[in-house]
Amino acid sequence: MSERQFFLDHLGQTTPFPFLIEVERAEGNYIYAKDGKSYLDMIAGVAVNNIGHRHPKVVSALKNQIDQYLHVMVYGEFIQDSQQRLVKELLEVLPEELDGVYIVNSGTEAIEAALKLAKRVTGRTELVSFRGSYHGSTHGSMSVSGNEVKKLAFRPLLPDVQFLTHNHLADLERITEKTAGVILETIQGDAGVRKPSVTFMKALRQRCDEVGAMLILDEIQCGMGRTGKMFAFEHFGIIPDIVTLGKALGGGMPIGALVASQSRLNEFTHAPMLGHITTFGGHPVICSAAAAAVHVLKTEISWPELEAKAQRFEDRFKEQKEIKEIRRVGMMFAFDMESAERVEKVVTKCMEKGLITFWFLSHPYSFRLSPPLNMEESVLMHAADLIIGAIDETAGY
């Protein structure tokens, strides 16, 4: 039986049409397949490999940690160097109000913990979210995600969740003294890269303050440099009460984190004690990679240069009439086309040409790009040529 057939027959599937690239290795901007083909990775594991595949500093940190110890104890009991290093790296770039980090296993787990913390801190139950949002695939995180098509089959979900229209000031009045937490992706990712206005974000912050609701910003996809700043909330001049991180935080390893003030995080320690617990959260090997990845983002990426090269890459598509709109924040891109069918042809043609693009969960007529932030400009421009070629070659078919 071929590896492909075994995969289809025995590994849990998520769609009827997986990409099915048989991976041999990955390095920097490229994934190499077993059939000898190489792929320029313009998706980076969906905003995970922000510093490319197998960054040498991440690999070296991993090797060092593996030689010291693997799992030793459930999260929160022992003092472990790589956890300490990761949190020190994060605190250096976080606002001083956010001085506590709780390390978990995934983005979704960070969301679950954030929702619980908002309830615990406020003693309230209502959660407020926004249409178009994606926060994860577990019951709690799905309850605050906006895509009804994906949710229907799994109801009943969490009660007491309200949805507001994204970037719509008038809706903010629906956040009240009953609201425990308001959750928002700082930049909506899977809705097709949607950036709210500064006015909206400031009004949201103010409304949460007025009614005593926790403002939770989900930066799992848009954080860790993806938008051209370390954290996307820096674009808006506001500081959330809780931030969730994941994806690129691990430098290619699985991790999530919940960031808040340490005094609020401490609510998990009593009434009840062990308010959020996790066996593998803060795993020393993963944290060693994450500490290195954050350090690399801080020391090897220049935000002004990133913005300039991303703008020049975007400009390359100006003449391409089939692209109806490009939405970009830093290196987070949505390219709108006339239909989902058109997008599918382009994504498939790009793959044939050795370039990986991808879809959005909740936005069928766009394709997305989230390349490594440290991709050299010449490689980015080569990617633009390949994508434009794929669009031209599939036109009219």
The separation between CA 344 and the C-alpha centre of its own chain, rounded to angstroms, equals: 23
Span of 1-9, 217-225, 231-239, 274-282 interacting with ligand PLP by CB under 6 A: 217-225
Quick check: 157 and 143 in contact, CB under 8 A?
yes
Given the complex with ligand PLP, which of 189 and 251 has the nearer CB atom? Answer: 189
In the complex, minimum distance from the CB of residue 245 to ligand PLP, in angstroms, rounded to a whole number: 10
Given the complex with ligand PLP, which of 223 and 349 has the nearer CB atom? Answer: 223
* Chain length of the chain: 397
Pick from 29, 108, 167, 394 the residue near ligand PLP by CB under 6 A. 108
Given the complex with ligand PLP, which of 82 and 129 has the nearer CB atom? Answer: 129
> Can you tell me the distance from the alpha carbon of 58 to that of 109, in angstroms, rounded to the nearest whole number?
23
Quick check: 62 and 288 in contact, CB under 8 A?
yes
Beta carbons within 8 Å of 94's beta carbon, 6+ residues apart? 231, 243, 259
Residues that bind ligand PLP (rule: CB under 6 A) add up to a total of 13
Span of 30-38, 103-111, 270-278, 311-319 interacting with ligand PLP by CB under 6 A: 103-111
Given the complex with ligand PLP, which of 130 and 268 has the nearer CB atom? Answer: 130
In a 10 Å sphere around its CB, with 0-12 CB exposed, 13-18 middle and 19+ buried, how is residue 72 labelled? exposed
Span of 89-97, 102-110, 191-199, 232-240 interacting with ligand PLP by CB under 6 A: 102-110
> Can you tell me the distance from the alpha carbon of 281 to that of 272, in angstroms, rounded to the nearest whole number?
19
Quick check: 90 and 259 in contact, CB under 8 A?
yes
Given the complex with ligand PLP, which of 216 and 285 has the nearer CB atom? Answer: 216
Residue with smallest beta-carbon separation from ligand PLP: 107
Q: Is 192 in the site for ligand PLP (CB under 6 A)?
A: no
Q: Is 31 in the site for ligand PLP (CB under 6 A)?
A: no
Pick from 42, 94, 191, 220 the residue near ligand PLP by CB under 6 A. 220
Given the complex with ligand PLP, which of 116 and 342 has the nearer CB atom? Answer: 116
**Would you say the C-alpha torsion 174, 175, 176, 178 has a positive or negative sign?**
positive
**x/- contact string, 136-175, with ligand PLP (CB under 6 A)?**
x---------------------------------------
Q: Is 112 in the site for ligand PLP (CB under 6 A)?
A: no
Quick check: 390 and 350 in contact, CB under 8 A?
yes
In the complex, minimum distance from the CB of residue 184 to ligand PLP, in angstroms, rounded to a whole number: 10
Q: Is 111 in the site for ligand PLP (CB under 6 A)?
A: yes
DSSP codes, 248-309: GGGTTS--EEEEE-HHHHGGGGSSSSSSS--SSTT-HHHHHHHHHHHHHHHHH--HHHHHHH
Cα–Cα nearest to 297, from 330, 329, 265: 330
| Paired tokens of 115 | 């929702």
In the complex, minimum distance from the CB of residue 8 to ligand PLP, in angstroms, rounded to a whole number: 22
> Can you tell me the distance from the alpha carbon of 258 to that of 279, in angstroms, rounded to the nearest whole number?
16
Interface residue list for ligand PLP (CB under 6 A): 106-108, 111, 134-136, 185, 189, 218, 220-221, 246
